[in-house]
Amino acid sequence: MIPPPSEQPFHYVSVVMGDITGYLGDSVTLSSGANSSWILSKIEWSIFSNITWIATYREGTLHPNTDRFWQFQGRLRLNISSGDLEIRDVRIGDALVYSVLLKDIKGEQQNKNLRLTVTERLSKPSVRKVFSMLKDSHCVMALQCSSSVKDTHLSWEPEAAFEDAFWRRNPNTNVSVVWTSYSPNRNATFNCTASNGFSKASRVVTERCQEPDVVGETRFPGIAFVMLLFGIVFGCVLTYCFRVNYFPCINFLNFVFMCKMTCLKLL
């Protein structure tokens, strides 16, 4: 004999607690863990040990009620098909244990607890050059990486092609320094990564150390050649002007002289 519907037993399933991370100012979705084959007739999301409802749904109602608790007013969205609860504009106070009670049209029920951890999404760390010098034909440089977010782990890594020596040190959790000594006249690229166990953010910095004599060898010979060329042109034009007594060309001589003086300033 089949008992009437009111006397039919229901199955109750308790699901263990899960953990989820939300970021300040972002949205986070709390999964109900409902069986995909269920057609939900009741959804109850609550907080605290006294089961304070924050979002509920009953079969037969047009819309779920998501404004039950002042803390979440205007920030909740309940999916009545899956039972998932979305929290928008996540705040520090949202870091709580959430409970959800589900019931399908066949009378089966399920309960699940979720612990929400709220943290600040990491931005790229700041990097500055502490010093850079040329000593004994080697570039010696120090870079400092820092983050404004508390309890952040910072780490340095050179580019894959970098084979010279480097040393790292973390004075505290929000600052890390790297020292290196490498051959000059080439780039040195380092990557600083900030992490807090939930997310990561990196910044890449490239520095170059140049030997002064290398700069001189590449720059001054070219200027000297230009000066020599101006001298030859200036002499030829001056000789021509005095021989033919052609004074209008004086303006051109002034132009050549100004160009010559500009080159002298560059030396």
Strand order through the sheet with 109-119: 12-23, 109-119, 97-104, 40-47, 52-58
Nearby residues of 199 by Cβ (< 8 Å), 6 or more positions away: 23, 119, 121, 122
**Owner of token pair 């990491």:** 122
5-119 and 126-210 agree in CATH topology: yes
Whether the Cβ atoms of residue 156 and residue 162 lie closer than 8 Å to each other: no
- Domain definitions of the chain by residue range: 5-119, 126-210, 213-266
Say how many C-beta atoms besides its own lie within 10 A of residue 182's C-beta.
19
Give 9-19 pLDDT, tens digit per residue. 555 556 556 89
- Residue 241 confidence (pLDDT) above 60: no
Give 143-174 pLDDT, tens digit per residue. 999 998 888 899 999 998 888 889 999 876 78
Q: Which residue has the higher pLDDT, 3 or 133?
A: 133
**Owner of token pair 């002042």:** 70
The stretch 110-119 carries a mean pLDDT of: 94
pLDDT level of residue 226 (50, 70, 90 thresholds)? low
Helices (H), the chain: 212-244, 250-266
Give 15-74 pLDDT, tens digit per residue. 556 899 999 999 999 999 999 999 999 999 999 988 999 999 999 998 999 999 999 999
Q: Are strands 138-146 and 97-104 parallel, antiparallel or unpaired?
A: unpaired
CATH architecture under which domain 5-119 falls: Sandwich (2.60)
CA 142 to CA 183: how far, in whole Å? 15
126-210, which class in CATH?
A: mainly beta
